Structure 1
Amino acid sequence: MFASSRLTPNISPGTDIPSIRHAPDGRRVMHLLRWGLVPNWAKDPTIGAKLSNARGETVAEKPSFRSAFQRRRCLVPADGFYEWKAVEGGKKQPYYFSMADGQPFALGGLWESWKGPDGQILRTCCLITTGPNEVMVPVHDRMPVIVAPADFEAWLTADADTALSLVRPYPPETMQSWPVDRRVSRSAEEGTGLIEAIG
């Protein structure tokens, strides 16, 4: 899964992405966090390459995500995201998903701080996935957790059980999707043409 914004239509894991979290003084703050979670107990940051997403069914239990899910949840703003559908010949066709009204939305995520041997702090994040809604089903069997605006505060500050109740497919009637150029599969590709419908 890649994310998309109006400024950067092709955001891949390993990239610094804007994330909103709750500050100790009660404010919501936005930071650039590296996409690929590095738990604070990790020996080195390379583990982040394997932890760009967390399954919602086990996020509250898995050692890599459990602590962050309890205390360090975040919101990742996006205009859309991509998923790939298997087609004939072993190829995959990318599809772009967004809100039907074209408005930006927020993906549910987790964040962590990791301190390197040199004392430098690396702040990272991951996205949480859940089962698909009816818009996603024809393309993929997972989708990112989308947090409704009314649930922003609960996602950022409520207890883990409350947050877990928000890990669910988003209402399909609010979403749209279409196939896009396979160029989006190359992370170096950019430009608004990547989200234009083809075929």
Structure 2
Amino acid sequence: MCGRFSLITDVYELMRQFQFEFDGELEPRYNIAPGTDILAIAAHGDKRVAGMLRWGLIPFWADNEKIGYKMINARAETVHEKGSFKQPLKSKRCLIPADGYFEWKREGNVKQPYRFINQDNRPLAFAGLFDRWDRGGKTIYSCTIITTAANEKTAAIHDRMPAILEREQQDIWLDPSVTDPLTLTSLLKPYPLGKIDFYQVSTRVNSARNEDEELIAPLNSK
């Protein structure tokens, strides 16, 4: 499961790295939680565009938007089979940039949070899906983050991790001409263990109400 992440990189640096257009402002966020709007990048014609989508996918056929709280993640192993995800997999794929993500490990009586980051400190690109929901004159664009099995390094903390796409995989993922489920799901593999690091952070991250720079600082740096 991926239930929290951070994104503090300047939007212009993100635009340079991921080559997208974005008409808006982006505030640094240290503790992004489900149900909030997050930056997502998708293909639009021959270019990439980004927008703010609600985290927690609401399928177009859903009767109630609250279903999104159960759809914050999609499993790579079954994403091509589930009714909520198989159509978006074909035509509504996106990248969700993040500077790092959080997972928890029970240590004694405490659930200790850890932050996972790219070893070179560059932003990560999570594989995501999105959909549009219309009911009663209300329209919501929402998304989900795909997860996969943890690699051998991160499995020490949690058995799942976001499906992180490398540069060449990002191009395939966003290519609207690619619709074969086997081709797409073949991209959703554990991130190479030599490219990711993790460290303990404050348990203050446990509360989604907390939102400050201290949440991403290594615990032993205080």
TM-score range, shorter chain: over 0.9
Residue aligning to 1:151: 169
Separation in structure 2 between the aligned mates of residue 9 and residue 38 of structure 1, nearest angstrom: 25
Residue aligning to 1:193: 214
1:26 is displaced (CA, Å) by 2.2
1:161 is displaced (CA, Å) by 2.1
Q: Which amino acid aligns with 1:167?
A: L
8 Å CA contact 1:57, 1:130 repeated in 2: yes
Separation in structure 2 between the aligned mates of residue 32 and residue 173 of structure 1, nearest angstrom: 31
List gaps (5 residues or longer) in structure 1: none
1:190 is displaced (CA, Å) by 1.0
Question: Which of 175, 183, 204 is the matching residue for 1:183?
Answer: 204
Q: How many residues align?
A: 196
1:156 is displaced (CA, Å) by 1.2
Q: Which amino acid aligns with 1:109?
A: G
SS at match of 1:41: coil
Residue aligning to 1:109: 128
Instruction: Give me the identity figure in percent.
Output: 40
Q: Which amino acid aligns with 2:30?
A: P
Question: Which of 46, 51, 54 is the matching residue for 2:74?
Answer: 54
Q: Which amino acid aligns with 2:143?
A: C
Separation in structure 1 between the aligned mates of residue 89 and residue 206 of structure 2, nearest angstrom: 30
Separation in structure 2 between the aligned mates of residue 187 and residue 169 of structure 1, nearest angstrom: 27
Residue aligning to 1:95: 114
Separation in structure 2 between the aligned mates of residue 67 and residue 129 of structure 1, nearest angstrom: 17
SS at match of 2:50: strand
8 Å CA contact 1:154, 1:162 repeated in 2: no
TM-score, normalisation: structure 1: 0.96
1:134 is displaced (CA, Å) by 2.1
Residue aligning to 1:167: 188
Q: Which amino acid aligns with 1:131?
A: A
Q: Which amino acid aligns with 1:32?
A: M
Residue aligning to 2:157: 139
8 Å CA contact 1:59, 1:69 repeated in 2: yes
Question: Which of 19, 36, 56 is the matching residue for 2:40?
Answer: 19
SS at match of 2:198: strand
Residue aligning to 1:122: 140
